[in-house]
Amino acid sequence: MAAGLTFWAMSGRMNSAIARVGELQSEVSAKESELLGYTKYTTYLTVGKQSLGEQMKLIAASVVREEGVTQVIEKSLLGLPSTGTVAIWHTVEYSFGFDLQPGSYDVRPTSTGIEVHVGKPFLAVTPAVSNLKFKILSGGMFTDEKAAVIRLYEEASKRATEQGHAMATEPAVVALCEKKLIGFLHDFLAKQPGVRVVPSITVVYK
């Protein structure tokens, strides 16, 4: 009778130990799965890099500005001077981005996060000029203000393009381009299966 009781007690302890081992294995598996979720993003970096190149147009940063030009026109006839002044206003939409053609950039994992190695932002397309308006501020006896307005209209796109190239180096524009690039890559990685956390992403210029 005593021997039977001893066997029952030992059997109970073994079942308890087996159950505990099963619990520990489940905990370990859960921890491994959780840790994998924190590093899973690295397996999608190559695909993320491809996606950046494919969606280059969507990553462009747009800047809209209201701009204007004033011009003084001078003309003399038979020694008599004449002066007129005209002004035009218009809306310009600038689009800035990065060169994301194959071989021109790289996406690398680091010990602290992700780095995107790329060239500096540039004016991606010719600025779109719209809402052209004009006003003749003063008219001269011999000056042709309407012809001056037409010339200013015709030159608006060229002036905007020159302005856009200069704007590409402005800190605010660079920061906006970085925000668009980082946001796109972060959202792409965060949507991938098994990814729990996307680390910090920084832009490194070549």
- Identify the residue whose tokens are 């079942």: 15
What average pLDDT score do residues 78-100 get? Answer: 90
Of 23 and 48, the one with more pLDDT: 48
Convert the pLDDT of each residue in 154-177 to its tens digit.
999 999 999 999 999 999 999 999
Average per-residue pLDDT in the chain? 82
- What residues does each domain of the chain span? 44-205
| Whole-number Cα distances in Å, 59 to 68, 98, 103, 179 | 28, 8, 18, 9
Q: Categorise residue 131: left if φ over 0, alpha if ψ from -120 to 50, beta otherwise.
A: left
> For tokens 């890559």, what's the residue?
185
pTM of the model: 0.74
